[in-house]
Structure 1
Amino acid sequence: MVTATDDYPLLDLFWTMLWFFLWIMWLFLLFKIITDIFRDDELSGWGKAGWLILCLLLPFLGVLVYVIVRGTGMTQREMARARESEAAFQDYIRTSASTSPGGGSAAELSRLAELKKRGALTEEEFQQAKAKLLA
């Protein structure tokens, strides 16, 4: 009786997995480079086209040359994009947190006036809350 291990020994399985892993890593690097090419604002249209042609027609050589020539810039551009994203996110949080969920100070003043009208607030409490809200 012939088993699967007789036809495909463990060492062959190891080499297959290694080559598969390297192929996936190369694809990841290729897509990362293509993304970097399109996101680089300093690179002209012709420069982008040239790098794309090199990376697509001679993929292994193109990727290797791109990493050697522009590898350091890839990291700097990625870090700058991350800083810009973080700053935009923090700005969004600040603006979202500063506005009240009910519609802003006009809605708060309306609620305060309604509470005063119902007698839940005295004139003095209303004026204090209004001053605090408008400050």
Structure 2
Amino acid sequence: MVAADYPFLDVLWTMLIIFAWIIWFWLLITVFSDLFRRHDTSGFAKVLWIIFVIVLPFLGVFIYLIVNHDGMTQRTMDQANAQRAQMDDYVRNVAGSGGAAGEIEKAKGLLDSGAITQAEFESIKAKALAAS
């Protein structure tokens, strides 16, 4: 009985309104997170932007997006590149430090420094390859 009182177009309209609110809150979070991670803006300017966005939310967010869209993109790309570089360094450190390749690399360093002989290097190499 309840479904008969709520036509299909009203359901679609309600869904549209809900999605619009979700997008609106996503925009607010994006603007505030970009504003707080900026290093090129003074604290006073950040406070003015916050007041502007709180007092006139739609106008404040849209003007911030228009004025700072290039900077937002650049800051997001810089952050993604920094995270990617950090992950790549972590993977290299973890992958390079273990396993047969790591043991052989250490043994080669010892051989090059003269700490071990060629026969000892071959023995370490054979053990590392047999273990893997």
TM-score of the superposed pair, with normalisation by structure 2: 0.73
Q: 1:95 to 1:127 in 2, by over 3 A?
A: closer
| Aligned ranges 1:62-81 → 2 under 5 Å | 62-81=60-79
What is aligned with 1:4?
2
User: How many pairs align?
Assistant: 112
Supply the distance in 2 between the matched residues of 1:129 and 1:47 (Cα, whole angstroms): 66
1:87 matched to 2:85: yes
RMSD of aligned Cα (Å): 2.5
Supply the distance in 2 between the matched residues of 1:21 and 1:85 (Cα, whole angstroms): 30
**1:24 Cα deviation after fit:** 0.6
Q: 1:39 to 1:124 in 2, by over 3 A?
A: closer
Runs of 4+ in 1 over 6 A off after TM superposition: none
**1:67 Cα deviation after fit:** 0.7
Q: 1:64 to 1:128 in 2, by over 3 A?
A: same
Supply the distance in 2 between the matched residues of 1:22 and 1:129 (Cα, whole angstroms): 68
TM-score of the superposed pair, with normalisation by structure 1: 0.71
Identity level (%): 40
In the alignment, residue 6 of structure 2 is paired with which amino acid?
Answer: Y
Supply the distance in 2 between the matched residues of 1:127 and 1:70 (Cα, whole angstroms): 59
**1:27 Cα deviation after fit:** 0.3
Structure 2 unaligned residues grouped into runs of 5+? 108-116, 126-132
